[in-house]
Amino acid sequence: MDVITPQNLQEALEELAKDPCAGVLAGGTDLLVKWKSNTINPPRVFTILGLQELNFIREEEGRLCIGPLVTHQDLAESAVVQRHAPLLAKACAQVGSLQIRNRGTIGGNLVTASPAGDTIPALVVLNASVVLQSAQGERQVPLREFITGPGKTVLQPGELLTAVSFPCMEATEVGFYRKLGQRQAMAISIVNLALKATLENAVIKDISIACGSVGPTVVELKRTANRLKGHSLDTSELRNIVVNAGDETNPISDIRASEEYRRQMVGELLYEGLQSLRRQSAG
Amino acid sequence: MAVYTFTLNGKQTSVEVPSDTTLLETLREALGLTGTKEGCGKGECGACTVIVNGKAANACLIMTSQLAGADIRTIEGLGSDGVLDSLQTAFVETGAVQCGYCTPGMLMSARALLLKKSSPSTEEIRESIAGNLCRCTGYAKIVEAIRKAAVSARERGV
């Protein structure tokens, strides 16, 4: 495998246009693991890790724009992210180990498109979209449409993910993120769940719920979200609503957990999330 | 083959290796620095932890070609002239070493933590080594040693 180092974004896009089947290497925490196990073996990869123009966190007209090379640890520690999207900071803090978070990037997490990807449910409830750039131009794609299956995205040969952005959370919005793994560090999610809600006097006006590791791509619990709207977070009715939330998911049984356990945990994590929203609205 | 130049344990170092050589291979095979260990080779065990630009990282998942101009610190850069680093002293005195295979990685994770935070909480110490596996199950002593090293560094005012 030949590792080539473009000097700037323009050069990277031009090189990628000439050799669209080449791999793109950023933090290496997914690509190099697959390369070492012979799952992939591209003859050429472009390492973009040194491209500073892809490493930024900016607040622009009410949106948070994040470069694909920002590491999970930098996002977890970013004051801007903690203020405008605390659930994303939380999701990033739970990726792998510190060594992995120091190298692995948010762009890599999205392009890898693992069904268990930790940042994906958080970014979905934040209504994120991604910018895909090629030598010919650029397009913006909602994250919901970007990932199409396990390891599959709409990224075309020659395209590079160059930004992810989403609206900053409003003062009336509260969020929650929880990852369930076999241990607290270094674990691939058994289930992860992100919530974002608009509250008015502890009544749910609007709510988005997204879960990972319970289907081929992130699963949004739209039916459950609709049932929750209009309910107060103080009502005992919440228990009855969340109990069937797992029915909206499509998990498999694997080495980490059974299908039944995952389904049940979706409801439990959702309930925990609603309790957290209640505490946040009170405090 | 290409030549890559970076700072290694305070010294400017150039090495000629194929572009798909990992930092771990470069350290151990091209430069003869075998203190950094290979465990799983896929970023799960932390045995190969080094410090890159002030941050703990797994040397098995970094290409040497990604390190032009970087500042790298390995276990060989802890302590100097035969004098142990305060963390190494604390590991010895506390009995935080059993078979020793995870020790270089543990020490580098601990050093990265203390570079950032001179008075870490127990929780922060535990989190800093969450990506370092010890198969002898010696975590309690390791956490204790890191805490001792932090305290002794503060007392000596360094």
What number is the ipTM of this complex? 0.96
Q: How do beta strands A191-200 and A203-212 pair?
A: antiparallel
CA distance B7 to chain A (A): 16
> CA gyration radius for chain A?
19
A69, A98, A182, A183: best to mutate for the B interface, most B CBs within 10 A? A98
Q: Which whole number is the average pLDDT over A65-88?
A: 98
Nearest CA in chain B to A74: B55
Cβ burial of B156 (10 Å; 0-12, 13-18, 19+) is exposed
Q: Backbone phi, then psi, for A281, in 5-degree steps? A: -70, -30
DSSP line for A90-133: HHHHTSS-HHHHHH-BHHHHHHHT-TT-SSHHHHHHTT-EEEEE
pLDDT band at A183 (very low <50, low <70, confident <90, very high): confident
B141 CB contacts (<8 Å, ≥6 apart)? B94, B95, B96
B95 CB contacts (<8 Å, ≥6 apart)? B141
Q: State yes or no: pLDDT of B105 exceeds 70.
A: yes
The rounded percent of chain B whose pLDDT value lies above 70 is: 99
Q: Reduced to 3 states, what is the DSSP secondary structure of residue A173?
A: strand
Residue pair A100/A92 in contact (Cβ under 8 Å)? The answer is no
A89 CB contacts (<8 Å, ≥6 apart)? A75, A76, A77, A78, A81, A82
What residues does each domain of chain A span?
Answer: 2-167, 173-282
A240 CB contacts (<8 Å, ≥6 apart)? none
pLDDT band at A185 (very low <50, low <70, confident <90, very high): confident
Q: Which two tokens stand for residue A139?
A: 């397009």
The mean pLDDT of chain A is 95
A185 CB contacts (<8 Å, ≥6 apart)? A96, A97, B127, B130, B131
Nearest CA in chain B to A71: B55
Q: Which whole number is the average pLDDT over B6-12?
A: 97
The reply to whether residue A3 touches residue B61, judged by beta carbons under 8 angstroms, is no
At A115-147, the pLDDT tens digits run 999 999 999 999 999 999 999 999 999 999 999
Write down the CATH number for the domain with range A173-282: 3.30.390.50
Closest Cβ opposite residue B61 in set A32, A98, A185? A32
At A197-232, the pLDDT tens digits run 999 999 999 999 999 999 999 999 999 999 999 999
Residue pair B43/B60 in contact (Cβ under 8 Å)? The answer is yes
State how far the alpha carbon of A178 is from the alpha carbons of A190, A272, B157, in Å. 11, 9, 40
Q: At what angle do helices B139-155 and B86-94 cross, to 10 degrees?
A: 130
The helix (H) or strand (E) run that includes residue A25 is strand A23-25
Distance of CA A41 to the CA centre of its chain: 26
Interface contact B140, partner A, CB < 8 A? no
Domain with residues B86-155, CATH architecture: Orthogonal Bundle (1.10)
Q: Which residue has the tokens 């090629």?
A: A134
> What is the distance between the alpha carbons of residues A185 and A239, in angstroms, rounded to a whole number?
29
Q: State yes or no: pLDDT of A186 exceeds 90.
A: no
Residue pair A17/A158 in contact (Cβ under 8 Å)? The answer is yes
Q: Which whole number is the average pLDDT over B10-34?
A: 98
Q: Which whole number is the average pLDDT over A45-69?
A: 97
pLDDT band at B158 (very low <50, low <70, confident <90, very high): low
Q: State yes or no: pLDDT of B157 exceeds 80.
A: no
Q: Which residue has the tokens 């995205």?
A: A153
What residues does each domain of chain B span?
Answer: 2-77, 86-155
pTM of the model: 0.96
The reply to whether residue A36 touches residue B41, judged by beta carbons under 8 angstroms, is yes
At residue A282, the pLDDT reads 84
Nearest CA in chain B to A96: B131
Among candidate residues A217, A212, A182, the one with its CA nearest the CA of residue A195: A212
Interface contact B41, partner A, CB < 8 A? yes
Q: Which residue has the tokens 């605390």?
A: A86
Cβ burial of A36 (10 Å; 0-12, 13-18, 19+) is middle
Q: State yes or no: pLDDT of B85 exceeds 90.
A: yes
At residue A101, the pLDDT reads 97
The residues that bridge with A58 in the sheet, in sequence order, are: A65
Interface contact B26, partner A, CB < 8 A? no
Q: Which two tokens stand for residue A244?
A: 């069937």
DSSP code of residue A26 = S
> What is the distance between the alpha carbons of residues B60 and A242, in angstroms, rounded to a whole number?
43
The reply to whether residue A97 touches residue B46, judged by beta carbons under 8 angstroms, is yes
> What is the distance between the alpha carbons of residues A24 and A159, in angstroms, rounded to a whole number?
10
CA distance A173 to chain B (A): 30
Q: State yes or no: pLDDT of B155 exceeds 90.
A: no
Domain with residues B2-77, CATH architecture: Roll (3.10)
The helix (H) or strand (E) run that includes residue A163 is strand A160-167
B3 CB contacts (<8 Å, ≥6 apart)? B14, B15, B16
pLDDT band at B153 (very low <50, low <70, confident <90, very high): confident
Write down the CATH number for the domain with range A2-167: 3.30.465.10
